[in-house]
């Protein structure tokens, strides 16, 4: 649970940058990549990651402009990446200007549970990380480069003058 707005914003900035870096690697063709026909496509997961910012925060008093309909999925990877950038920036500005540290302890209803807003924000970050993991797997299947997030990706070890771990 986040106790302060500043602590959340520091975490969000890092995580949102990681998400944005992934989304910038997507191509229009890659949006159709799926593990099976019964699972969400890469585009569907990427778009859901954009819209989840507004959807998850919608039961709070926070107001900002961001997409909240996660279907249909846009056909443009650039549109998805640009929409994430806009939604994230609007969200950050809203948190900065509409909430205080006291807000972190305000209780809200979320999926049938009463939780503090600071816990909702942690859930939002974890939700985004969960979908980033799915995105990276589908990116690899689509033949796209995957940027490192919490350390170098397989392709990035050489940039650090290191050998990639053995397979």
Domains in the chain: ranges and CATH = 5-160 (1.20.120.450)
* Residue 23 in tokens: 């989304």
Across the chain, which distance is largest between two alpha carbons, in Å?
Answer: 50
Strand locations in the chain (E)? 107-110, 113-116
* Beta-bridge partners for 116: 107
d(CA 43, CA 77): 8
Residue 136 Cα to chain centre, angstroms? 12
pLDDT, tens digit, for every residue of 27-58?
A: 999 999 999 999 999 999 999 999 999 999 99
% of the chain at pLDDT higher than 70: 100
Burial call 58-68: b when 16+ CB within 10 Å, e when fewer = eebebebebbe
Instruction: Give the chain's end-to-end CA distance (angstroms, integer).
Output: 37
Tell me what the mean pLDDT of segment 125-153 comes to.
Answer: 96
Per-residue pLDDT for 141 more than 90? yes
When pLDDT is cut at 50, 70 and 90, the band that residue 161 belongs to is confident
Residues 6+ apart with CB under 8 A from 114: 107, 108
More confident call, 112 vs 162: 112
Residue 80 Cα to chain centre, angstroms? 12
């Amino acid at each position: 649970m986040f106790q302060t707005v500043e602590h959340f914003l520091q975490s969000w900035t890092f995580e949102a940058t990681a998400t944005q870096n992934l989304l910038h690697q997507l191509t229009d063709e890659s949006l159709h990549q799926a593990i099976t026909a019964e699972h969400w496509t890469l585009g569907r997961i990427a778009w859901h990651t954009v819209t989840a910012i507004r959807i998850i925060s919608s039961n709070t008093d926070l107001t900002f402009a961001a997409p909240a309909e996660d279907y249909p999925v846009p056909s443009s990877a650039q549109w998805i990446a640009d929409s994430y950038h806009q939604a994230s920036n609007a969200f950050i500005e809203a948190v900065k200007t509409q909430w205080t540290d006291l807000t972190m302890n305000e209780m809200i209803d979320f999926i049938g549970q009463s939780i503090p807003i600071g816990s909702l924000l942690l859930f939002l970050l974890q939700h985004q990380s969960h979908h980033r993991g799915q995105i990276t797997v589908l990116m690899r299947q689509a033949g796209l480069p995957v940027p490192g997030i919490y350390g170098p990706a397989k392709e990035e070890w050489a940039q650090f003058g290191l050998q990639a771990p053995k397979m």
